[in-house]
Structure 1
Amino acid sequence: MEKTLVQKYKPLVIALSVIIPLAVAALFSIKIEGYDLSFLPPIYASTNGLTSLLLIAAFVAIKNGNRNLHEKLMKGSVVLSALFLVLYVAYHITSDPTPFGGEGAIRTVYFVLLISHITLSVVVIPFVLFTYLRAWGGEFEAHRKLAKITFPLWLYVTVTGVIVYLMISPYYA
């Protein structure tokens, strides 16, 4: 009996779902001096914004029965999310952290959004990968069921990424 794509790649998805967050966390302890990548935050925030738009467009495309467009938009979403991760890590290993300077209720709002964004950005990794694998393997009913969870999580992460950037951007040095 031949394994499905999900069965075949499950160990890789699990490994990536653990390795990516651990690697990102570990990279925060590394500082590479001599590079000024201070131009990156608006770029990686824009990749989050574009990903949000692609996710919504992909949702609309599949609801309208346009599977081909949906597939292209979802591939674009995956690529933009990967690009975001690379740019985010590059910035943070070459730059000092930026403290949030807001006070009062806005400070609480910022940290609630930031903590939920970070937490769900870790949680969404296996959801995105397994949802993608199910579609790639032609398991469309299983894909659809998982996508009902993945879509709002992924959309939340991308939208809050933009909001967090907009809230902290006045405090960049």
Structure 2
Amino acid sequence: MKAPASSVAAAAFLAVFLAGCAAAKADEDISFPVADFSLIERSGQTVHRADLLGKVWVAAFIFTRCAGPCTQVSGSMAHLQHDLAGVPGVVLVSFTVDPEYDRPQVLQKYAARFQADPERWLFLTGEREPLYDLIYHTFHLGVQKNEGPDVRTGYEVEHSTKLVLVDPQGRIRGYYDGTDPDELPRLEQRIQWLRWQNRLPAVNAALNGLSAVLVSLGYLAIRRKKVALHKTCMLTALCVSTLFLASYLYYHFGVKEGKPTPFTALGWIRPAYFAILLSHTVLAALVAPLALFTAYQGLRNQLVRHVKVARWTLPIWLYVSITGVIVYWMLYHLYPSP
């Protein structure tokens, strides 16, 4: 039997999707969390790790009176700001390694030299001990204050020139040389990949919605005795659901590492959400083999058995697809996590 064009296209898309996932994993096999911090931005506002969750961000380590490579590192950050100017959900964060000198007013003047957008490029300072502890134990980079009469002006601190890439879940995903312009294209590519990963919940919801539309169209087609159209719609819906499953598993186990997205709303909506989620999850596990069995019976022309099973498969499939969209909307739009 010749495979429908939709099945071939879906299989090709799935192969490219999985190959891209494997390539990204091979490129950056780093994932460990950034510890919480409370630092002061050049504007005077306090910034915590939680304020950056949901965004891809790049950390740099500089100080304003540096006579060494800090200008190159900040120049690389300025280059990123320019290249990513139209890209939402990306933040640049420069941490000073000379916090006693680099107070907010000093950082304001330094930021102005590089035309840093205050909404997209933060400059953070604070107390030296917690700041150095953060650099040592979270970012795993070296930093050392040079002290004594022999310290030359502009060389008060020894520090790393690495740029550190952090994903929307607050995990470090890669290190890049902030003084090497050839590293920036690879960093920018990785940023785009992490942004795409963060959009997967919306992609998954769209696939669920498309599956519901196709199943409904397939039902209407068979009611009107349009067998060929019914077969096309249902097989395409099966392919779309397969893509959804692959994308869902990759996001929750490859991106989120098995950690659930918390639902933080309180009141009557909380038990309502979990009731929908529980029914959706249980029926989703049931409908996968049920849909395959139903399609198999139809392709074998075992129509009596096909129709008998389809009476159960269709409403369950529709319910799972529709509630998938509802769960997404409640979790990411109506009551998003802070």
Q: TM-score, normalised by structure 1?
A: 0.78
The equivalent of 2:241 in structure 1 is 81
Secondary structure in structure 2 of the residue aligned to 1:155: helix
1:108 aligned onto 2:271: yes
Higher Cα Rg, which structure: 2
The equivalent of 1:135 in structure 2 is 298
1:169 aligned onto 2:332: yes
Cα distance in 2 for residues equivalent to 1:92 and 1:114: 15
- Tell me which stretches of 4 or more aligned residues in structure 1 moved more than 6 Å: none
Structure 1 102/145 Cα, relative in aligned 2: closer, same or farther at 3 Å? Answer: same
Greater strand share, structure number: 2
Deviation at 1:98, TM superposition (A): 1.4
Task: Write out aligned runs for 1:39-58 (5 A).
Answer: 39-58=199-218
Q: Deviations over 1:18-66 (max 9, x none)?
A: xxxxxxxxxxxxxx83373111000111000000000000000000000
Cα distance in 1 for residues equivalent to 2:260 and 2:301: 43
Task: Write out aligned runs for 1:113-124 (5 A).
Answer: 113-124=276-287
| Counterpart amino acid of residue 158 in structure 1 | S
Deviation at 1:97, TM superposition (A): 2.6
Cα distance in 2 for residues equivalent to 1:172 and 1:142: 46
Size of the aligned set, in residue pairs, is 143
Q: 213, 220, 238: which one pairs with 1:60?
A: 220
Secondary structure in structure 2 of the residue aligned to 1:104: coil
Question: Which consecutive residues of structure 1, in runs of 5 or more, have no partner in the other structure?
Answer: 1-31
Deviation at 1:172, TM superposition (A): 5.2
Secondary structure in structure 2 of the residue aligned to 1:122: helix
Cα distance in 2 for residues equivalent to 1:172 and 1:69: 42
Q: What is the Cα-based RMSD across aligned positions, in Å?
A: 1.7
Cα distance in 1 for residues equivalent to 2:316 and 2:264: 28
Q: Deviations over 1:74-100 (max 9, x none)?
A: 111001000001111111121243100
The equivalent of 2:105 in structure 1 is none
| Counterpart amino acid of residue 70 in structure 1 | H
The equivalent of 2:288 in structure 1 is 125
Cα distance in 2 for residues equivalent to 1:99 and 1:49: 23
Greater helix share, structure number: 1
Whether the 8 Å contact between 2:264 and 2:337 is mirrored in structure 1 is: no
Task: Tell me: higher relative CO, structure 1 or 2? Use CA pairs within 8 A at least 6 residues apart.
Answer: 1
Question: Which consecutive residues of structure 2, in runs of 5 or more, have no partner in the other structure?
Answer: 1-29, 32-172, 174-192
Cα distance in 2 for residues equivalent to 1:71 and 1:156: 20
Q: Deviations over 1:104-132 (max 9, x none)?
A: 11111100000000000011122111101
Q: Deviations over 1:127-167 (max 9, x none)?
A: 11110110010001110110000000111100000000000
Structure 1 54/172 Cα, relative in aligned 2: closer, same or farther at 3 Å? Answer: farther
Q: TM-score, normalised by structure 2?
A: 0.41
Secondary structure in structure 1 of the residue aligned to 2:198: coil
| Counterpart amino acid of residue 201 in structure 2 | P
The equivalent of 1:12 in structure 2 is none
